[in-house]
Copies of this chain bind each other. A is one copy, B any other.
Amino acid sequence: MNDAHTVTQPDSGTSTHLTVAPVAPGTGSLRPLGIDKVRISGGFWGHRQQLNRDAIIPHIARWQERVGWHANFDAVVNGTIAASRTGREFSDSEVYKLLEAMSWEIARTGDQELERRLQAIVDRIEPAQQPDGYLNTRHGNPGQPPRYSDLEWGHELYCYGHLIQAAVARIRSGHHDRLVEIACRAADHICDTFGPTGLAGICGHPEIETALVELYRATGQSRYLRQARLFLDRRGRHSLQDIEYGRSYFQDDIPIADAQVLRGHAVRALYLAAGAVDAAVEEQDRSLAEAVEHQYQRALRRRTYLTGGMGSHHQDEAFGDDFELPPDRAYCETCAGVASIMVSWRLLLATGNLGYADTIERTLYNVIAASPSTDGTAFFYTNPLQQRVAGQPSDPDEVSPRAHAQLRAPWFEVSCCPPNVARTLAQLATYVATTSTDGVQVLQYVPGEISAALGDGRHAHLSVSTRYPDDGEVAVTVVGAPRDSWTLTLRIPAWAEGATVEVDGKVAQAHAPSHTVHDAAAGSRITLRLPIAPRWTVANPKVDAVRGTIAVERGPLVLCAESVDLPDGADVQALRIDSTQPLRALGDGAAAAGTLLAPQEDTEQLYRPDAYAEDGRDIELPLIPYYRWANRGPSTMRVWIPTR
């Protein structure tokens, strides 16, 4: 066990464990680039990475300390945990997600002060681990429920999963420290306990599956891959109890390979899908990979909001039925956005389908970017597409008991989302580009540098300059390139009708999903022009909840109407948009549309025999990017606006 964390060649024979990135598969159509190979120098996401470092990560660390989630580990050591524990059953996992965010941030910036703070937290976790590797502050200590006595809700394996993901971030960034040792001891304990001849259980909340495959990739210890596969194979066989929400809530209703669509608790479903793709890729199990891709594709086609958000139910934080996508009760948990990006990214690497980068872009701009406040000290947990009643501001000094705080809250009783946002922002550079045997694929348009080793060992170095998404022009300068037989591929978003690519003065039409430039020489300049004029978007008529409405998008941004932009304190309920009039572009990704503002009287009957008259006065309605809503005080908001 002592060498469990030493980095060796994976059994698969591939060697991707040194990629400084959260996902480094042994096989696949495309290879990820480490965050040391892609530098985001500014712009939309550079600003958010800075905010993450300066505000979000410190805010999370401060709150976790304040609510006692770090002290829980001390109390395990002192033997006082049963009496003193604070937080929900999964609070350990939030500490581990913070460690993962810190780890990527340290890898990105080499911040030594952050390294010191990370080690200080590890100092408190390490002594709480039991000699056999068991580590949990809610179970298994004197006066607490026994280990693994509540697999439905105990979240022990889920917590290990996030511990392991943090350790993988350390290994991939070249550290082999105590955090890695703790995680490997825990992983070995899991294999010893839940192995083929052990306890035949699974965790109510998937996460351990992807974590164990990643730990296998990072350490080469194949028992971790085998254990992940065992958890995956055990799922869907009713080993967990039936509950009010049904076994579909934790995906224990149907074996993974037999399911037709993602269902149940959205984060659980997506973490499980990510783990299944990871295992399928390492084991070259094409049928498992195809089954999960089919389920995810169907979710994208029938169970996904325009923002990329997933989850239609508040009650069980779950996917709804096909086409059940209510904008006002959209749950769209921020963590489900993070999890959807995890699945899209894995499928993109496995299949080479750049369309998944469209989904990642949509989710990044309209879910992940919407969660933090402009100062990075408050967060959305749910991301509805309509706000009917202006919410009251959250108290910056109070924990919100509500996931659906009407305005962003500084902290939640269930605070999974803030650290999930933090780890995603810290690792963002890995999603910018990939490589293949003889090419580089640019997937996300951010200003910065891309230094790519092709599969055949040759190198390409690109410099990207753009104001995207405020502007549709993306200038790629080839700083260094192979002499010949290489390709530069640019993703063309599905919405980018009329995109062009100019190479050394020659302009060509570009079509989704991608445009490829061959043998661009060092020094050549390639200009991608994406049309980011505001555009109308309609929903499939099967989506009952938005019948008779229309939405406006601009580039990758979903726009919305917010009441603070309406005259005379009018409510967004009163809007009737005229989709026959042209849209007008405004600054900062905003737009304006001709609109009827109906009167606000509430005296009519709720139901009656004949149609209701709709009159009012014409205004030009400003529409702002969805990610910016609720930053100007209490307001009502809607993405889907009724048409005249």
For A389, the chain B residues whose CB sits under 8 A away are 321-322
A540 at the interface (CB under 8 A from B): yes
Tell me whether B573 and A542 are in contact (CB under 8 A): yes
For A244, the chain B residues whose CB sits under 8 A away are 401-403, 413
A448 at the interface (CB under 8 A from B): no
CA gap between A512 and B245 in the complex, in Å: 44
Tell me whether A606 and B547 are in contact (CB under 8 A): no
Q: Which of A591-624 contact B (CB under 8 A)?
A: 602, 604-612, 614
Tell me whether A540 and B315 are in contact (CB under 8 A): no
Which of B320, B540, B547 meets A549, CB within 8 Å?
A: B547
Known: A244-B403, A246-B402, A321-B388. A301 touches B605 (CB 8 A): yes
Tell me whether B402 and A323 are in contact (CB under 8 A): no
A326 at the interface (CB under 8 A from B): yes
Known: A323-B573, A545-B544, A549-B547. A302 touches B609 (CB 8 A): no
Which of B301, B323, B539 meets A388, CB within 8 Å?
A: B323
CA gap between A220 and B577 in the complex, in Å: 62
For A605, the chain B residues whose CB sits under 8 A away are 301, 540
A324 at the interface (CB under 8 A from B): yes
For A304, the chain B residues whose CB sits under 8 A away are 606
CA gap between A313 and B602 in the complex, in Å: 22
CA gap between A321 and B327 in the complex, in Å: 13
A146 at the interface (CB under 8 A from B): no
A142 at the interface (CB under 8 A from B): no
CA gap between A537 and B606 in the complex, in Å: 10
For A604, the chain B residues whose CB sits under 8 A away are 540
CA gap between A602 and B324 in the complex, in Å: 14
Contact mask A303-344 → B, CB, 8 Å, 1/0?
Answer: 010100000011100001111101111000000000000000
Q: Which of A3-39 contact B (CB under 8 A)?
A: none
Tell me whether B541 and A614 are in contact (CB under 8 A): yes
Nearest chain B CB to A297's CB is how many angstroms away? 11
- Name 29 A/B residue pairs within 8 A (Cβ), A-sorted: A243-B401, A244-B402, A244-B413, A245-B402, A301-B605, A301-B606, A313-B315, A313-B329, A314-B315, A321-B389, A322-B389, A322-B602, A324-B329, A326-B329, A326-B545, A537-B607, A537-B608, A538-B607, A538-B608, A538-B611, A538-B612, A539-B606, A540-B606, A540-B608, A543-B606, A544-B545, A544-B549, A545-B545, A548-B548
Known: A322-B389, A327-B544, A540-B608. 17 other contacts (CB 8 A): A244-B402, A244-B403, A245-B402, A301-B605, A302-B602, A302-B606, A313-B315, A321-B328, A323-B573, A324-B329, A324-B388, A326-B326, A326-B545, A536-B609, A542-B573, A542-B602, A547-B548
For A538, the chain B residues whose CB sits under 8 A away are 607-612
For residue A642, which residue of chain B has the nearest CB? B547
A230 at the interface (CB under 8 A from B): no
CA gap between A610 and B551 in the complex, in Å: 11
A129 at the interface (CB under 8 A from B): no
Report, nearest first, the 5 A-B pairs whose CB atoms are least far apart.
Answer: A548-B548, A315-B315, A547-B548, A314-B315, A321-B388
For A642, the chain B residues whose CB sits under 8 A away are 541, 544, 547
Nearest chain B CB to A285's CB is how many angstroms away? 27
For residue A246, which residue of chain B has the nearest CB? B402
CA gap between A602 and B539 in the complex, in Å: 13
For residue A537, which residue of chain B has the nearest CB? B607
A300 at the interface (CB under 8 A from B): yes
Nearest chain B CB to A153's CB is how many angstroms away? 15
Nearest chain B CB to A365's CB is how many angstroms away? 15
For A245, the chain B residues whose CB sits under 8 A away are 402
For residue A304, which residue of chain B has the nearest CB? B606
A386 at the interface (CB under 8 A from B): yes
A242 at the interface (CB under 8 A from B): yes
Contact mask A270-303 → B, CB, 8 Å, 1/0?
Answer: 0000000000000000000000000000001110
Known: A326-B329, A388-B323. A537 touches B315 (CB 8 A): no
CA gap between A320 and B404 in the complex, in Å: 13
A535 at the interface (CB under 8 A from B): yes
Tell me whether A388 and B540 are in contact (CB under 8 A): no
CA gap between A611 and B540 in the complex, in Å: 8
Nearest chain B CB to A43's CB is how many angstroms away? 26
For A320, the chain B residues whose CB sits under 8 A away are 329
For A315, the chain B residues whose CB sits under 8 A away are 313-315
CA gap between A604 and B328 in the complex, in Å: 24
